[in-house]
Amino acid sequence: MKNGVIAGGVGIWLDEIVPCLKDTETGEIKETVVFRIESRSFLEKFNEKNGWEINWIKIPKEVEVFALALKENNEIQGLVGVRNDVDVKAAYLHWACTAPQNNKHAFGKQKYIGVGGHLFAIAADRSLAWGYDGFIHGFALNKELLNHYLDVLGATYLGALHPYQFAFSRMASQKLLEVYTYEWN
């Protein structure tokens, strides 16, 4: 965070590649929906104190925030902030995180598998909607995560603006959208 503004960064670990979310206890597959969070005040409840990694209310206003939720009850399982980067002609993946109950790395357990990949797919979807053929760029929080995105998702290393900068080409984004399924709500 700089001057009270959330700086961009992506710190999601990807687990199993599954089209919908998978319950870790039962193995049951759960269908998902995605919706844009229009009300900034709604974001107040997603904060560091309750395990959401950052205070989402402090995301810059030009960043659109989308929620990945269970279709059956709209329970939010992850959030992703994406900005239309007109200068670069790409979707800028500003920040993304899973709900605390899905963050195995921070809390040692995970309710649903597949959240992280869905959040990347939502960014790819926005890139297509903005006319950028699926091109996405962002910054990983560290080298280990950067290598994870390169290996698991087919991201490309850029490193021009930041040592952990990555990008997704049209083909890499297309693969994401072929695997991860959700409905827009």
What are the pLDDT digits (tens) for 136-177? 999 999 999 999 999 999 999 998 888 999 999 999 999 999
In a domain, 5, yes or no: no
pLDDT at 13: 66
Question: pLDDT per residue over 6-37, tens digit each?
Answer: 446 676 667 767 889 999 999 999 999 999 99
Would the pLDDT of 68 be above 50?
yes
At a CB cut-off of 8 Å and minimum separation 6, what does 131 contact? none
6 occurs within a structural domain: no
Are 97 and 12 in contact by the 8 Å Cβ rule? The answer is yes
Judge whether 121 and 181 are in contact, CB under 8 Å: no
* pLDDT of 1 above 70: no
Q: Which residues contact 99 (CB under 8 A, 6 or more apart)?
A: 51, 52, 76, 77, 78, 111, 115
Number of domains the chain contains: 1
Is the pLDDT confidence value at 133 over 60? yes
Structure tokens that stand for 133 in this block: 């053929």
pTM of the model as a whole: 0.91
Q: With bands split at pLDDT 50, 70 and 90, how would you rate the model's confidence at 102?
A: very high
Please indicate, yes or no, if residue 89 is contained in any of the structural domains: yes
Residue 166 makes CB contacts below 8 A (sequence gap 6+) with 137, 138, 139, 140, 146, 149, 150, 155, 156, 157, 158
Q: Is residue 86 part of a domain?
A: yes
pLDDT for position 121: 96
Q: Is residue 107 a part of any domain in this protein?
A: yes
CATH number at residue 173: 3.40.630.30
Q: Name 175's Cβ contacts closer than 8 Å, sequence gap at least 6.
A: 154
